[in-house]
Every structure is written in C-alpha cells, then in structure tokens.
Amino acid sequence: MADNNDIAKAGALMLIAGGIIGAGLALLFAPQSGERTRKDIARYSKKVRRKAEGVVDDFADTVSDMVETVTEKAEDILDKGKDMAYEAKKDLLKALEEGQEKLERQRARLTKLVG
C-alpha cells in the first residue's frame, strides 16, 4: 500500500514540476510582455468598438433613409389618391347631372305625350 501512495505522490510531484517548468518556459519564450499584450488587447478592443459604432451608425442612417423614402412614397400615394378621389367625385357628379338631365327630358316628353 505504501508503494501505491509513493507512486501517486511521485506522479503528483511530477505533474506539478511539469507545470512549473512549462510556465517558466512559456515566460522565457513569450513573444512579448504581458503589459504589451494587455495594451494590444485594449487597442484591438477600441478598434473593434469604433468599427462596431460605424456599422451601427451606417445601419441607423440606412434605416432612417428608408423610413424617409417610405414616408415620401406614402405621401405621394395619398396625394394621388386624393387627386383621383376628387376627379372621380367630379366625374360622378357630372354623370349624375347628365342622368338627371336625361330623366328631366324623358319626364317632359312623357308629360307632353300624356297630356
């Protein structure tokens, strides 16, 4: 049993030693310092933020332009509709007046025939 414990302890010590050696080697062969890496990360995040803000601004401008265009088109359609409705109303009144005149003529004709 003691041998198993000794083997487990030796394995754990070797694992810890390997981690320490690996961390030391990583520090020795690191391409740049941690401070510089943090600065690079901060610079990159600012750059990404500016680009994201630009994309959001462009998107907002596009949506705003689209809303303005749709509003203008809707106003044009409403104006045309009003003009068409006015013209249709005028034509309808003209047709009613012509119909009324024809009815009056027919009534006058019937009145002459009857009496």
User: Taking the domains of the chain in order of start, what are their residue ranges?
Assistant: 1-30, 31-114
Q: How much is the mean pLDDT over the chain?
A: 82
In sequence order, which residues have a C-beta less than 8 Å from that of residue 57 and are 6 or more positions away? none
Q: What is the pLDDT of residue 99?
A: 84
Contacts of 40 (CB under 8 A, 6+ apart): 32
Residues comprising the chain, all counted: 115
pLDDT of residue 60: 85
86 falls in which pLDDT band (50, 70, 90)? confident
Structure tokens at 39: 């600065």
Phi then psi for 32, rounded to 5 degrees?
Answer: -155, 170
